[in-house]
Amino acid sequence: MPTFTTKDGTEIYYNDWGSGQPVVFSHGWPLSADAFEDQMFFLASHGYRVIAHDRRGHGRSGQTWQGNQLDAYADDLAELTARLDLKAAVHVGHSTGGGEVVRYIGRHGTWRVAKAVLIGAIPPLMLKTEGNPEGTPIAAFDAIRAGVLADRSQFFKDLSMPFYGYNRPNAKISEGVRNSFWLQGMLAGMPASYFCIKAFSETDLTEDLKKIDVPTLIIHGDDDQIVPIAASAHRSVKLVKGAKLKVYPGAPHGLCTTLKNEVNADLLSFIKG
């Protein structure tokens, strides 16, 4: 399997398919690079080199105790892009991966980056605070932590329902998709499953967003039950100069799977544009 070892000794797994301009994918919690398989196969089939890593603690990467926070995630991404010597890369991040992309740009700049895409992404801040009244209360994240500690396997099975909007009336439920979500989640180590909750909920990425100076597309479903649009995409588009927001009516958090054809088409159009 293609892997590399970070400066702190963590082994990171990655997929690297196709050839052409690189498109780099950063996945959400508690998933892996496989969450983007539909987008990767589509873009590789259209002449692009597609790369996705399993974030530390997730998937096939090392299950580290340390580094389960966005600074380390961003630095791991920087090491990957440097190792592969990527230039003019398009970075695509979903959910926590969107925060990873934003923090990567904030810490390492855009000299290797051509464009950025944030899909159902966590920036600028998920947590409800005095300055972020539309955010999610800390009690909700405490409940996620409690669920992970109590019965992580059942929690991930249950989480797949709102993640893909399968708890909505008349939703067409795919048990295969739910099983894939559960399998990816169970490949994550317990430390990442737990500590990453604080990383994605309490990290303020406002200043990082302001540093983005490349064309940026923000995609978000307006029925996202995991990362509500009001405190995320609607705020992020105002912080990234020239960013474009595309709202998918009625779409859930896991829209890269449930609406993969639409997402694929929008990615290809944005990359080509």
- Positions annotated as catalytic residues are 95, 224, 253
User: Is residue 39 packed enough to be buried (19+ CB in 10 Å), middle (13-18) or exposed (0-12)?
Assistant: buried
DSSP structural state of residue 250: T
Helices and strands: H and E segment counts in the chain: 10, 8
Q: What's the first-to-final CA gap in the chain, in angstroms?
A: 34
Residue 136's contacts (CB-CB under 8 Å, 6 or more residues apart) are 126, 127, 128, 201, 228, 231
